Amino acid sequence: MARSDSFFSTISAKKPRPDGKPSLTVRERFSALRNLPAFLRLIWQTSPGLTLGNVALRLLRAALPVAMLYVGQLILDSVVQLSREPAAGRAVTPLLMLVALEFGLAVFSDALGRGVALLDSLLGDLFANQSSIRLMQHAAELDLDQFEDSNFYDKLERARRQTLSRTVLMAQVLSQAQDVITMGFLAVGLVAFNPWLLLLLLVAVVPAFLGESHFNERSYSLVHGWTPERRELDYLRQTGASDETAKEVKIFGLSGFLIDRFRTLSDEFYQQNKSLVIKRAGWGTFFAAVGAAGYYAAYVYIITQTVYGRVSIGQLTFLAGSFARMRGLLEGILSRFSSVAEGALYLQDFFDFFALRPRIVRQELTGERPIPFPRPIKQGFTFENVGFKYRNAEKWALRNLSFELQAGEKLALVGENGAGKTTLVKLLARLYDPTEGRILLDGHDLREYDPAELRQEIGVIFQDFVRFQLPAGQNLAVGRIEHKDNQPRIEQAAQQSLADSVIAKLPGGYEQMIGRRFNGGVDLSGGEWQKIALGRAYMRDAQLLILDEPTAALDARAEYEVFQRFKELTQGKTAVLISHRFSTVRMADRILVIENGQFQEIGSHEQLLARGGRYAELFRLQAAGYQ
């Protein structure tokens, strides 16, 4: 074992690319073929009927070339025979029957070819759609912190980009099987005549195959190694020309900067790719010449045999035809083999992405059934010495945090930018798990509950809420998408969040498309968007509502009104509010002050003012600003 390992590591030592990234090893390339059975299973699952039909048509088609060559041989031999006989005694009917048979075979072969192409395209489309759906479903299961990892994005990007090439791979794998069978039929005839011809065939074709596979490997390495840069290129292309960025790109005069960066990166890729394709073209020409030489050597041999009368004219055409056809087929099979191997490598990225597992899943801690979510929440949430560090971050975003969020309480979070307020909220919603300590809900660790159920009971509106390019009504309904057709409920939520006055002004009302991306869409002001987003909170029937500064763009009066209503409408519910405005913060039952991720103080507005600590200081600072 150790020996073979060292053998492989010798022949497959990773060659650094000019930019220092390693290229792929021979072993990696071949082991990628192991992905094919799983791939074929996926195709089968896509549509067993279409797959079966496809295989059946291809099998039939595989037998046709040899049948046609054979009929051709019979036709020629019979022509030669007839031409030697006296004109009067010539019986041409059998010859005409043969010609009719060849005609029938030709038409049938063409029809089969079209049938195969049709099934390939239908199956390919279905497969591409299902792959995209699987991709979206899997991405939805993964944890938030996986999305914050750039390696993850590279995997996702590679998996996403290959939807089309996987369809091509499917057709290639099936064609490969078909051609191998055709080759088998043709080889029987050739071997019967002279087995050495088969060897000549291999000698003619194998160098081309090795060359092809070498260049395929290089090309995969190049593309694979360039994934982050290609992602950047896409980003630049989009940032340079999109409705979301146009405003700042113009104001700051950024287009030159973006274009320069794009040009530098794309030129570098072009240069590397150019040198590869030039080499590939040069070697390809050489190997094609070797292949042609092999063919002509065999041809000369068969002609000589015919001249000496050892084979008939009909056999000459059969053999020359078989040889030419086999050469084409073998070349196709071998070069397709390397592109199948290449496709299988890309498939690895696809499967790698699906191998990623979320960590925040049910029953993680207990290994038993999750406990049911309390309805209503009795005690509330308890933070016990909670600490959290983002993936790849040096610094703790939160540390040693202990406090209680009581059931039915309205708690405001106060702290300067970067203090850790949003992080705390994300921990409550179990978008992340604490790195240290634990969060209890009614005495049980949050991890003992089913995360999906927990998230159903928690409604969070973030400061960077999504501006969905959807009609106004649906934009509110995303708060509880099951109710997207429940118009009275949507309108009630709009009233509660003050979004109703925004929607009343839209030409299409609740049906009006918002955002400029799609036809007829109208954009809203920052504050108007926020009222829509707030409506999502009211669509939810959650026991814990969290508003993470979604009101920053509201004018002072609107924010005051929003929070007054919020307080009334969430009577008896637990709520967390984040705001930098103290006029809002003071409405909360208690206020938790965080600084640099650490607990500072907690209490009501009056208590904290009397205490004269950080809160009192921040409050006075803001109040002074208004004097």
579 makes contact with ligand ATP (CB under 6 A) = no
Q: Closest approach of Cβ 594 to ligand ATP, in Å?
A: 7
451 makes contact with ligand ATP (CB under 6 A) = no
Taking the mean position of all CA atoms in its chain, how far away is CA 167? Answer: 15
Taking the least distance from each CB to ligand ATP, the nearer of 137 and 417 is 417
For residue 371, the SS3 value is strand
415 makes contact with ligand ATP (CB under 6 A) = yes
Tokens of 277: 């394709």
What number of other Cβ atoms are within 10 A of residue 107's Cβ?
A: 10
Q: What is the 3-state secondary structure (H, E, C) of 367-388?
A: CCCCECCCCCCCCEEEEEEEEE
Q: Closest approach of Cβ 524 to ligand ATP, in Å?
A: 22
Taking the least distance from each CB to ligand ATP, the nearer of 148 and 404 is 148
422 makes contact with ligand ATP (CB under 6 A) = yes
Closest CA to 374 of 284, 305, 446: 446
Q: Does residue 376 have a cis peptide bond before it, meaning omega lies within 30 degrees of 0?
A: yes
Considering CB under 6 A, how many residues would be counted as binding ligand ATP? 12
Q: Closest approach of Cβ 393 to ligand ATP, in Å?
A: 5
Closest CA to 403 of 166, 598, 199: 598
148 makes contact with ligand ATP (CB under 6 A) = yes
417 makes contact with ligand ATP (CB under 6 A) = yes
390 makes contact with ligand ATP (CB under 6 A) = yes
Q: How far apart are CA 38 and CA 351, in angstroms?
A: 9
Sole window of 16-24, 63-71, 416-424, 605-613 interacting with ligand ATP (rule: CB under 6 A): 416-424
Q: How far apart are CA 369 and CA 186, in angstroms?
A: 62
Amino acid identity of residue 264, one-letter, is: T
Taking the least distance from each CB to ligand ATP, the nearer of 374 and 527 is 527
Q: How far apart are CA 576 and CA 591, in angstroms?
A: 10
Q: How far apart are CA 239 and CA 245, in angstroms?
A: 6
Q: Closest approach of Cβ 504 to ligand ATP, in Å?
A: 32
For residue 252, the SS3 value is coil
Tokens of 40: 């074929």
550 makes contact with ligand ATP (CB under 6 A) = no
464 makes contact with ligand ATP (CB under 6 A) = no
Under a CB-based contact definition with an 8 Å cutoff, are residues 430 and 457 in contact? no
394 makes contact with ligand ATP (CB under 6 A) = no
Q: Closest approach of Cβ 361 to ligand ATP, in Å?
A: 21
Residues of this chain, 22-61, that bind ligand ATP according to CB under 6 A: none
Q: Closest approach of Cβ 423 to ligand ATP, in Å?
A: 3
421 makes contact with ligand ATP (CB under 6 A) = yes
622 makes contact with ligand ATP (CB under 6 A) = no
Taking the least distance from each CB to ligand ATP, the nearer of 316 and 413 is 413
What number of other Cβ atoms are within 10 A of residue 347's Cβ?
A: 24
Sole window of 83-91, 414-422, 535-543, 565-573 interacting with ligand ATP (rule: CB under 6 A): 414-422
364 makes contact with ligand ATP (CB under 6 A) = no
Tokens of 470: 């959807």
Most distant CA atoms of the chain, gap in Å: 129
Binding site for ligand ATP (CB under 6 A): 148, 390, 393, 397, 415, 417-423
